Amino acid sequence: MGPDIAHLEVNKGNHMKICLVCSYGGHLSEMLQLMEAFEGHETFFITYDSARTRGLERRYLLRNIGTNPLLMAHAFFSIFRILCREKPRLIVSTGSEIAIPAFYLARILRIKTIFIESWARVTERSGTGRLVYPVADVFLVQWERLLPKYGEKAKYEGAVI
């Protein structure tokens, strides 16, 4: 019997699995700034393949979608498979377009979502933000000036720095 181990598992308490979705570059930098918020939870990344993202500990690497509709369709399937396998309780994204398939699939799979619009977006919504706004459970912007461009759901809670 291993009562100690079983006990430890139970005592993780409200520990949950969180999927972090972002492209590389600035969006990843923003996510890395926020990692402290996920402490105590299990996290894994869905991001694009690059030298930098290969260094992440738990990650699924996709090809950069950009504006290619075929790659976007392919990403839907890849992310669907990943989400079914990992069964995260929550998805957090700082953008960009890789969040679109993840957030719509999350809606179908009943996974909660938090979207954080990029720090770089001061007065204009990003294309991704516009598309995921209707399906996100929590939607945050990093500049108060951007709030009027979105609906009531959008909140300002500070910025990455």
Residues that bind other proteins (CB under 8 A): 14, 16, 18, 24-30, 33-34, 36-38, 41, 50-52, 55, 89-90, 92, 112, 114, 116, 118-124, 126, 137-138, 140, 142-143, 157-161
By beta-carbon proximity to other proteins, the closer residue of 15 and 58 is 15
| Helix ranges, the chain (H) | 3-10, 26-33, 51-54, 69-86, 99-109, 127-132
CB of 103: closest distance to other proteins in angstroms? Answer: 15
Q: How far apart, in whole angstroms, are the C-alpha atoms of residue 75 and residue 77?
A: 5
CB of 153: closest distance to other proteins in angstroms? Answer: 13
CB of 35: closest distance to other proteins in angstroms? Answer: 9
Residue 44 contacts by C-beta under 8 Å, 6 or more apart in sequence? Answer: 17, 18, 19, 20, 58, 59, 60, 86, 88
By beta-carbon proximity to other proteins, the closer residue of 17 and 74 is 17
CB of 12: closest distance to other proteins in angstroms? Answer: 11
Q: Is residue 139 classed as helix, strand or coil in its secondary structure?
A: strand
By beta-carbon proximity to other proteins, the closer residue of 62 and 116 is 116
Q: How far apart, in whole angstroms, are the C-alpha atoms of residue 103 and residue 74?
A: 15
CB of 33: closest distance to other proteins in angstroms? Answer: 6
By beta-carbon proximity to other proteins, the closer residue of 54 and 58 is 54
Residue 114 to residues 51, 71, 104, Cα–Cα distance (Å): 27, 24, 12
